[in-house]
């Protein structure tokens, strides 16, 4: 049986967690392939809110095995905290249900300190990272000096290597006038974590390929989003991994012919946390309206950092680019309910760049900052839609909005979300509806 790849089509925070939760109900294995605990996936099950950072949303489905693949970067202490939190909420997290790749790289306290130092040094030009040590961990990986999770299997050499890594970071930190780290204390915490995590460690490439050969269905759960991709996003305002569909193959280690479905998740509008261009950004009252009031869960504040998200109209120039980069077979549109009550809605279909009209995303940040979106104006709807469960019951204007997006992106949109709960996903008639486990 083939694999499904689920990725964010925009700047992250598209609501992938709840879509992954839906698709996990028809999967046997759910695997994260890139990034680390910079991600924040929120899943609402009844009155319980699960905030996941590293562990795939599939963990909420009893029969699913979850994987943290070789392309991820893992803070062992934070992983253990997340395991404990999930257990506290009644979720069984055992080495049978969660398998961590021996190839995944370790985020050490050195990486976190270096992330902070680098952001400080950039000042007003900072990336706006989540300060989880992601960039420096991937720098060590590509510089071939990183530590991999498999090294935790040999405590003595692991402790020595970690100690050396922290001492090397301390030299840089001291040189830049930043606070240094106590290598002894950090190494102790990580050695303790290693002892607990050892049973979870395994060769996940072999495991996934065995499961694929056995006919099992794999869901590759993306984190972040297309515009945060190291290669394809708006560099340098990106994360340091490959959250696009190609990253699923390198991050997990299986071949492209297994993939039969690539699902792109986009909000019904645009949001971004951190710095970097957001061509359709709205300031003032309209931006506040999309962001929400701060009174409920469903608002636009980052799950990992709690920072307010910048908001704007939907940008199909950028989405078409995401379709190209990822090869979406379909898109899911989330948070459609947030658009209720607008008299009119705007969809960016092209940009004006200086004296030219373009229908593609320019490559450089400078150009992306200069573009002025050209909008299609479409009718809004007044009805509250969060209780709607059938596609036919959506207001005509909402259906037209969805269909216009599908047309502009030349990609089907068969699923929308109208609220944060599991059952607030609405599927186009004739499309397959699977209830959460
Ligand atoms: P880093 O991944 O912490 O290095 O942050 C790099 C950029 O990616 C910053 O703009 C972050 O705000 C953004 N970012 C990283 N992870 C996420 C996410 O899960 N959702 C939204 N933005 C993210």
Check: CB of residue 276 under 8 Å from CB of residue 122. no
Residue 284 makes CB contacts below 8 A (sequence gap 6+) with none
Give the pairing of strands 310-312 and 270-272: antiparallel
Any atom of ligand 1 within 6 Å of the Cβ of 12: yes
CA of 127 to the centre of ligand 1 (A): 9
Rounded Cα–Cα distance for residues 304 and 38 (Å): 6
Q: Which whole-number Å values give the CA distances from 328 to 168, 314, 361, 410, in the listed order?
A: 43, 17, 18, 10
Structure confidence at residue 103 (pLDDT): 98
Q: Measuring CA to CA, which residue among 4, 413, 377, 14 is closest to residue 212?
A: 4
Measured from the CA of 35, which atom of ligand 1 is nearest? 2
105 included as an active-site residue: no
Burial label, 367 (beta-carbon count in 10 A; 0-12, 13-18, 19+): middle
Q: Which of 41, 61, 111, 258 is catalytic?
A: 41
CA of 274 to the centre of ligand 1 (A): 7
Q: Measuring CA to CA, which residue among 34, 142, 151, 145 is closest to residue 102?
A: 151
CA of 38 to the centre of ligand 1 (A): 6
Any atom of ligand 1 within 6 Å of the Cβ of 132: yes
Structure confidence at residue 45 (pLDDT): 87
Rounded Cα–Cα distance for residues 349 and 314 (Å): 9
432 included as an active-site residue: no
Beta strands in 174-329 (DSSP E): 201-202, 218-221, 259-267, 270-272, 310-312, 314-315
DSSP letter string, 6-48: EEESSSS-SSHHHHHHHHHTT-SEEEE-SB-TT--EEEEETTE
The pTM (predicted TM-score) of the whole model is 0.95
Long-range CB contacts (within 8 A, 24+) of 127-130: 127/236, 127/237, 127/238, 127/274, 127/275, 127/276, 128/237, 128/273, 128/274, 128/275, 128/276, 128/307, 129/38, 129/239, 129/274, 130/38, 130/302, 130/304, 130/305
Any atom of ligand 1 within 6 Å of the Cβ of 39: yes
Give the H or E element holding residue 167: helix 155-175
Q: At 62, is the secondary structure helix, strand, or coil? A: coil
CA of 154 to the centre of ligand 1 (A): 32
Rounded Cα–Cα distance for residues 373 and 252 (Å): 37
Question: What pLDDT digit, counting tens, does each position of 164-180 carry?
Answer: 999 999 999 999 999 99
Any atom of ligand 1 within 6 Å of the Cβ of 118: no
Match 């459609």 to its residue by tokens.
336
Spell out, as residue ranges, where the chain has pLDDT lower than 50: 294-298, 432-437
Give the H or E element holding residue 275: none
Beta strands in 247-362 (DSSP E): 259-267, 270-272, 310-312, 314-315, 330-334, 344-353, 356-358
Mutate to test the pocket of ligand 1, among 126, 130, 308 (most ligand atoms within 8 A of CB): 130
């Amino acid at each position: 049986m083939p694999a499904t790849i689920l990725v964010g089509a925009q700047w992250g925070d598209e609501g992938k967690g709840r879509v992954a939760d839906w698709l996990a109900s028809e999967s046997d294995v759910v695997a994260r392939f890139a990034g680390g605990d910079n991600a924040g996936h929120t899943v609402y099950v009844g009155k319980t809110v699960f905030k996941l950072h590293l562990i795939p949303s599939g963990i909420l489905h009893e029969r699913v095995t979850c994987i943290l693949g070789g392309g991820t970067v893992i803070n062992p202490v934070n992983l253990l905290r997340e395991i404990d939190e999930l257990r506290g909420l009644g979720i069984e997290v055992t080495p049978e249900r969660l398998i961590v790749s021996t190839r995944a790289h370790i985020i050490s306290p050195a990486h976190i300190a270096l992330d902070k130092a680098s952001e400080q040094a950039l000042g007003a030009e900072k990336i706006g990272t989540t300060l989880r040590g992601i960039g420096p961990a991937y720098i060590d990986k590509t510089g071939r000096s990183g530590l991999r999770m498999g090294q935790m299997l040999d405590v003595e050499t692991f402790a020595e290597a970690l100690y050396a890594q922290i001492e090397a970071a301390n030299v840089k930190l001291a040189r830049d006038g930043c606070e240094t780290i106590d290598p002894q204390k950090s190494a102790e915490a990580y050695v303790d974590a290693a002892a607990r995590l050892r049973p979870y460690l395994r060769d996940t490439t072999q495991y996934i390929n065995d499961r694929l050969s056995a006919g099992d269905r794999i869901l590759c759960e993306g984190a972040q989003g297309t515009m945060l991709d190291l290669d394809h996003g708006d560099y340098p305002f990106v994360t340091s991994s490959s959250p696009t569909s190609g990253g699923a193959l390198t991050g997990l280690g299986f071949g492209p012919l297994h993939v039969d479905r690539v699902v792109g998740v986009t909000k019904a509008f645009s949001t971004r946390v951190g710095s970097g261009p957001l061509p359709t950004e709205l300031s003032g009252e309209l931006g506040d309206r999309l962001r929400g009031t701060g009174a409920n869960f469903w608002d636009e504040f980052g799950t990992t950092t709690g920072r307010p998200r910048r908001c704007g109209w939907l940008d199909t120039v950028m989405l078409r680019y995401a379709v190209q980069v990822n090869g979406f077979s379909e898109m899911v549109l989330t948070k459609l309910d947030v658009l209720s009550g607008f008299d009119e809605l705007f969809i960016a279909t092209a940009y004006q760049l200086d004296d030219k009209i373009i229908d593609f995303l320019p490559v450089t940040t400078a150009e992306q900052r200069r573009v002025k979106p050209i909008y299609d104006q479409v009718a809004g709807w007044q009805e509250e839609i969060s209780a709607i469960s059938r596609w036919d019951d959506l207001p005509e204007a909402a259906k037209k909005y969805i269909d216009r997006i599908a047309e502009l992106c030349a990609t089907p949109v068969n699923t929308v979300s109208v609220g944060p709960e599991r059952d607030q996903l609405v599927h186009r008639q004739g499309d397959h509806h699977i209830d959460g486990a």
